Structure 1
Amino acid sequence: MGGEKFGFFTWVSSISCLICLCHGYVPVNNYLINCGSPTNVTVTGRVFISDKLTSNLLKSPSEILAASNRNSVSDIYQTARIFTGISKYTFSVARGRHWIRLHFSPFQYLNFEMGSAKFSVSSQTHVLLSDFTTKSRVMKEYSLNVATDILELTFTPSGNSFAFVNALEVVSVPDTLLNGDPSLAGRPGRFQGLSLQALETVHRVNMGGPRVTPSNDTLSRIWEPDSEFLVEKNLVKSVSKIASVDYVPGFATEDTAPRTVYGTCTEMNSADNPSSNFNVTWEFDVDTGFQYFLRFHFCDIVSKALNQLYFNLYVDSMMGVENLDLSSYLSNTLAGAYVMDYVTGSAKSTNRIRVSIGPSTVHSDYPTAILNGLEIMKMNNSKGQLSTGTFLPAGVSSSTTKKNVGMIVGATVGSLLALVVFGGFFLLFKKRGRGQDGDSKTWIPLCTSGTASDSNGTTITSIASNSSYRIPLVAVKEATNSFDQSREIGVGGFGKVYRGELQDGTKVAVKRGNPKSQQGLAEFRTEIEMLSQFRHRHLVSLIGYCDENNEMILIYEYMEKGTLRSHLYGSGLPSLSWKERLEICIGAARGLHYLHTGDSKPVIHRDVKSANILLDASLMAKVADFGLSKTGPEIDQTHVSTAVKGSFGYLDPEYFRRQQLTEKSDVYSFGVVMFEVLCARPVIDPTLPREMVNLAEWSMKWQKKGQLEHVIDESLRGKIRPDSLRKFGETGEKCLADYGVDRPSMGDVLWNLEYALQLQETVVDGDTEEDNSTNMIGELPLRFSDYNNQGDTSVNVGVDREGRFEDEESSVDDLSGVSMSKVFSQLVKSEGR
């Protein structure tokens, strides 16, 4: 979709760059589209391009360009594009954070009353709007971190309705605008993973100053006056000293906020009364069920000397900063621009955010407090949504039947103190309770603040930063009928797994840790860290966790069809067709490809195998079990040095030899899975003749001879087209190369698998569905069913208590068959490793 499709934007970008040069920041991407219009329109110094020039960006089942008959100045709200079916804009972009601005202004066009339209808007990774409708003009602004070279915006009408948009913007944002780890409002610790969040601008306010338009902001933002949000207007006064603003190097810049924001402020009106003691409060409407990112803008334009201004900042009546002295933060600079970032600690249970400033007790000679600007942005929830609706498009969430899970709102002071105490014990005895490999050997609940590192070297985010996933213990007990034994579907070294159902009807698998267990803490933390970062339709979704009352509980989406392994052998389930097997491999490859490429640093799964590929009701594959996952190498590194972990039979021999982990280790393991899918037998089966014990070696022997048909599953006899098998075998062979550098990327594997599927489904001239035996793989010369005892007796060399390789002596793991109800037991019991 490269230069040809987007070449016409070259001159547009040149114009946009000239426009933005006066501001200083030149966006890499600057798509401004005047939807439904035959002409360009200039708005606040920016040129919105005619919809006709951008039509090749759009795929839509209909071409309805609407024009208003209003008598007003031509602008972007006089025309619109109407969608009667699912429609998609596709933009070629540089990776990084972008503004997405959607402009809506409903009017009547023919039989389309836009004020009654109901629709959803989504990207590949997030739902921006669900069942959206509006009767008045509105602009929706989002900040989205795009991790690929393509950004797709999909408009989906709800039911029999339609969608519309008057104008849209996709504009690059400076990398420095949102970086670092914001503080948690009202509690210790910091929020990590802000770069992964999609944000929606809810309020952007210029305290004490006028409305700021896009033409006066380097990033084309709008700042509203604060008067309508003040609770008591008579307690404040406005100050304006724009010329005095100083942008100190290393702190805020004009991209952070314009001078018209930093140069004005709302100040506590103490009327020169030294005994004044009150707070100035603003109140903002927000949606419940979300966390919020708050950015406070400060600039001391009221003091005549350094260290005169001390005040307190509160968020929802909780202390944010006490005795704030701005000049001390800015290397003794007066009137320096400065920002402070906060994230609300848990999903809001009320529809208001209250922000207050008030006098400090440090300097009481002249009590005062100021605030220059404030931005409030909604953060996406655990399902990647920024809207409270139920729209869940493909690729955004793993189940269309899921609804928002009730999240814990807060904790009592007593329980908070108890968690802090436990956290203190964790820090005190951390080293004492660790084995040689760093795994915790004592049962300790998660800390309430700060960060830690697990045994894999993965930095674990503060539990408070993942608080939107925390589910109360009472809700977990209700879902499992107080862990009723009849709901038990698995048991292992970590603990038991229960089938459950949340109050909204969502079916879940509840993995409950055993307090007597001497393992699991590192994996528990890693699962939360990994699955709270990534949302993908081919990764098993984490619904939530519970660490209340010393519990370690993980709640996943329930996968009705169980593990891939259970459908291949040992369980008596119906055999999968070749097409189904290819589609399952493609789905798993997509999930792994996303892990390897979907963030600033790759994530390596380290335990890819058929028991960790789960299938939903429609046999869609999802990669599961991230307990061993590890963040990949930095850009200037080739590998990560780490202790060897994984499952024997799937383990990358180069990783084993050199203890150097790369994404290609996952590729090797996936290659083993591919041959496991083709041959439908365990990867290690000591009951078979010596030359057949190791599946990878056995299958590679015949692949190198060009006779892979000798080892395929008997149930596939006469059902695989030769070209499809050839492409599949070649891909698997490349995955099993001795050296990682010779193996393909997961992206290449995915492409080849999709090609193999195309080759299987292509009807050759002269073929018929009834008689195509001449184009299918014939009789199998070899049968291993006589050697197969219908169980899985895989050999695990040096496995831990969950069957993972840990460079120890050999042992044999008795692997039993897997039924549908055992799906999540495979995540925790040794039989699943």
Structure 2
Amino acid sequence: MDVKFLQFLCLTLCEFLLSNAFTPQDNYLINCGSSASTVVSDNRHFLGDASKNGSMYLSGGKSVALKNPNPSPNSTVLYGTARVFTSASSYEFVVKNLGIHLVRMHFSPFISQNYDLKNGNFSVLANGISLLNNFGAEVTVLKEFFLVVNKENLEILVKPSGDSDFAYVNAIEFFSAPKDFFIDAGELALISSNGIQEFKQNISSYVLETVHRINVGGSKITPFNDTLWRNWIPDEDYLSLKSAAKIVATNDQPNYQPGGASRENAPDSVYMTAQEMNIANGSLNFLFNITWEFPVQAEDDMFIVRLHFCDIVSIGLNSLYFNIYINGITAYKDVDLSVLAFHELAAPYYIDFAVENAQKSNVMRISVGPSDLSNTLRKNAILNGVEIMRMVDFVALPKTSNKKHVWNFVGPIVGGFFFVLLLASVAIFVCLKCKRGRVKPKPRRSESVGWTSVRGSSYAISEGTALTSPGPYGYYGLRIPFSDIQVATNDFDNNLVIGSGGFGTVYKGILKDNIKVAVKRGVPGSRQGLPEFQTEITVLSKIRHCHLVSLVGYCEEQSEMILVYEYIEKGPLRHHLYGSKFPHLSWKQRLEICIGAARGLHYLHTGSAQGIIHRDIKSTNILLDENYVAKVADFGLSRSGPCLDETHVSTGVKGSFGYLDPEYFRRQQLTDKSDVYSFGVVLFEVLCARPAVDPLLNRDQVNLAEWAMEWQKKGLIEQIVDQRIMDQIKPSSLKKFGETAEKCLADYGVDRPTMGDVLWNLEHAYQLQTNEPQTAMDGDLSDDPGPPRLVRGDPTSSEGVDQGDGSSDISTTRVFSQLLTNEGR
């Protein structure tokens, strides 16, 4: 036999085996109305329900087997017969593997002597859940559903409805889906007319019906070439402007990665073809997107959209950045497939979105376009595949203008509010009376007044500790009148603007009593930043620490969302590292700043039972006061940590490009180790004085974390240190600092240190730099869980005592500050 032919045969056989690797534990294939087993073109065996073995699945009701007298020579053999039901009847299947299953039902309305199947009108239910209601088919159609089966049998009930006296079906497929085919993250990005929100529901709790399955840039894919026996349709008919797109393809097999997409998510052919931006003759006019328009039913309320990606256009990592738009809304900004696909080229990945059809539109628009992060000569955007599924049993929230009904809902809330207000008034009155009468109040826990901890210490507040107000707008007076803010900012004078971000514009202001503040004003009238606004108030009203920016107050009047913070004189750390005219920071200053930020984060993570995870640590969210003391800022994305019996918080991915924990992105499971990863990027940013992502650099230098880790692992970290401070750094201090940053950037969270460990190591690096002696901790703990004493040298010495507000000065104590109390661990 010819050797080349043998090699070809072996490769073909291997490809075939790989493409058909999935074997469902539950796998029922029924050829309805047939008395014999049938083999279809994809080599699957369908059992006839009129045969001896197949009839066991039929249960109750009246039905007849029907044969197509004029079968089409081009149609599958499944459409040569049908089962016609003249009363409610069902198929019953034993389920071995509980979880998500696929149900496919084939309908081909042929005409026989006694029945014209086009006249059939009926309903189909699966374990009591409605799949089809008053359904009828004019042409051959396949209906596919994903549903969770949580008991040991599945009943598919078919019953005539309306004026019809019969129902029918040609074939049924029922088989278990691959594990984790849908990942219930707890929070999915919800795209609606109000922008991006959080869809805090599990996908698998709904029945999903496939509406579109598209192979973008490729040809039709039949069940023979799909591990889940699906059809994929070319995208050409759905392109809004065909000249905007250009087909790109590769002959190389996709580079599948653990945790990414698999062949069960989409076949190789989907990931080997794509549409990219059609940029002709090196044109620099990139102001366009590629858009697809898909028809949907206007009465459907909610959809799940799955987009498939595989970077087959780039020649190196971190060179492709683009945006995703759904129905004109930015669904995902600055996508970097290098990060999503585990720092590998041509690695398949998919992203799911929940999309609300609030406008009752009959078209869904999906677009991809270039990101501002892209290099001018490399701007591009791609898409490999699209799946659109409707939520069959999704019920939209009722909308009513009935004032009586509204008051029935609002009334109890308003009443409850005034009741709470009354209780609060009484409590204040009693407190004032006690104070005037010099009566010692009964000891109480800080939680009783809504505080988890105070004064900046990373420990639980002891009973009997009084709370003190920092000023006229702190703690007990968070609401600030809009008129006061107008006066403080000179009616939002543009000359007082000190920054801007996703939430809005930041102004410098002066409140009463000459309190300097930073005023962050959301876009007036817009509620898009409402979740962040509420989160900031919730988080910052419960914490107070010298290394965290304090919330002075907020305003929510006249459709305004305004947050007022203490004014931090020298602004973001980033501005003092690169890209501005500020004097450069010394190595000692940089160490002190990193230690201060670590203290603030350590307090966040340990200062309450669940702790708080920041989710957006970066150099622009670490601010410096007039003495270069670091303060962590911007808590709009913060989340409570996991409960004691949990390992993580399942949540939609939030964060900033270049700082995002790749494991958090892959698994959508948040822990405090995600903050540790982001802080590791900041450490290298401080050391190298360059951005986390710089698209203008060479491909291997674009991503700071990857680039710095390569040098660190080679033991040559000194080669990339900011040259302005290179001669200031002692080798031992640099070694400890580099090792700390490396540990923070471990691929898996379990391998990363806690923020307490990071703090310990940074203070060690500081001691190595300043030649200060190793410190010892006082292990004598009294019953009072007050601040631990950290002493230097002699454990009986009082030198270096933490001040109880997290403000121990590293320039004088230079001590380790890992906690001694169990409450703070």
Q: TM-score range by the shorter chain?
A: 0.3 to 0.5
Q: TM-score, normalised by structure 2?
A: 0.46
Which has the higher Rg, Structure 1 or Structure 2? Answer: 2
Q: TM-score, normalised by structure 1?
A: 0.46
